[in-house]
Chains A and B, each alone.
Chain A
């Protein structure tokens, strides 16, 4: 193809958008609405996912030792637990730290309950905080720690706590939420594609006659296809840029509002920059592809005439 012909196709493709004003507007609106809904759900799914991650990452095992365990034993146990493949970190919480943590968790009002205790008469045992790589493996790790305890004839561990029961329930909920989010996003993606390609098809059916005339004056199929291809890509791209702007502007607004009114909110929304890149690429990618795909498919059908 000559360069001047390529320029001609670009010119014609963009002019066609103006010439077929209403049809272009219809396609763009349909792309905009479909992708907007998709974008909203993608952001929602991303945030639900991140919330689930945040909840899960707070999961840890607290291992309380008997009060009379020797220092050598404390180190030995720490190593044994630390050597488990699922475990990422084992932190020793000394008696003093334990007391401080307890004080803090009881707050200012009830703090005086612990008034009389100091380093001399600290009643608390030494404990470990165990963190794992995969939060969902926490139950297994807990029973392995229990196994270590049973293998040791002195039974140095008094108690293993990780929110048994509650945690399993929580994982069930977060997994379900993740799956539902994924299904909704995929479903919306497919719906958007069908809706948009249908609109583009209609605009091309309306131009069947035009294609017939082009063939009559001796235009090759490629020559006819190019401007349609460019038109479709432009419509897809422009509308997805508009959609991205609208979705992200709304999201920025939501972040702003939640920061003001819900500063005590349990979870953080994904920051705009991080969420924006993924969403923008997704929306613009799908939008442009759909534009090209819709116009290519429909033109091919009428080229056979």
Chain B
């Protein structure tokens, strides 16, 4: 599903964000990516949805060779990957419904299908009744649930979540995690970067720890492993 082989990423200013990372993530896995700030977690995530290109090494996602991908093809890779951010990144002037439906309009789905499926995922995240609200009228947890709905609406095989609970209180975070687990249960691979010790330690999954641009630990049912 996702295969990295000796991946290096050096930014224009000379920083080595990743220094030879090799890893394989299979279909339907749930993976935490942990490590100190600036260790290379975000770069690791960005490479997967082709926000960044590896400087060196082989990277394949869903069968696409990311390093050699033509710019024209990028949108099609991204349609199979749902991305969730700490800051939600919703379109502020669109309603909740429109924000989620947008991801389906992009793939030119028929309107009827868009309507049915959008309401379905809004149901799943528990926000059907707020489909006409604007993002600014929702709480942080609700906005994150909208961004999750947007990420899963096209049934992507991979969900990349970069600190999805970073801005949320523990109770709301637990709700978001339940949702992600549910999505994982339905068949999507989930790769989640996090600083949240409680979550990692309570929901035991595979843990990949990155430090100084290298994978220092990769355990099947790991723990967070850092003191905050």
Contacts and interface: CB of A to CB of B under 8 A. Distances in A.
A116 interface: no
B106 A217 contact: yes
Nearest to B111: A4
A217 B78 contact: yes
Contact of B75 (A5, A209, A220): A220
A213 B79 contact: no
A214 B105 CA distance: 11
Interface string A232-257: 00000000000000000000000000
A213 B78 contact: no
A194 to B, nearest CB: 28
Most central of A2, A215, A218, A223 by chain B CB within 10 Å: A218
A172 interface: no
A210 B90 CA distance: 8
B49 A213 contact: no
B103 A4 contact: no
A213 B91 contact: yes
Given A20-B93, A210-B91, A217 B108 contact: no
Interface string B52-95: 00000000000000000000101111110001000001110110
A2 B108 contact: yes
Interface in A169-216: 209-210, 212-216
A217 B110 contact: no
Q: Of residues B77, B103, B106, B107, which shows the largest number of chain A Cβ atoms within 10 Å of its Cβ? A: B106
Contacts of B103: 217-218
Interface in A57-89: none
Interface size class for chain A?
Answer: 10 to 19
Contacts of A220: 72, 75, 106
B83 A216 contact: yes
A301 interface: no
A5 B78 CA distance: 19
Interface in A150-171: none
Interface in B32-56: 49
Interface of B: 49, 72, 74-79, 83, 89-91, 93-94, 102-103, 105-108, 110-111, 150, 154
24 contacts: A2-B108, A4-B108, A5-B108, A20-B93, A210-B91, A213-B90, A215-B74, A215-B75, A215-B78, A216-B83, A216-B89, A217-B79, A217-B102, A217-B103, A217-B106, A218-B75, A218-B77, A218-B78, A218-B103, A218-B107, A218-B154, A220-B72, A220-B75, A221-B75
Interface of A: 2, 4-5, 8, 19-20, 209-210, 212-221, 223
Given A218-B75, A220-B72, 4 more contacts: A19-B93, A213-B90, A218-B78, A218-B107
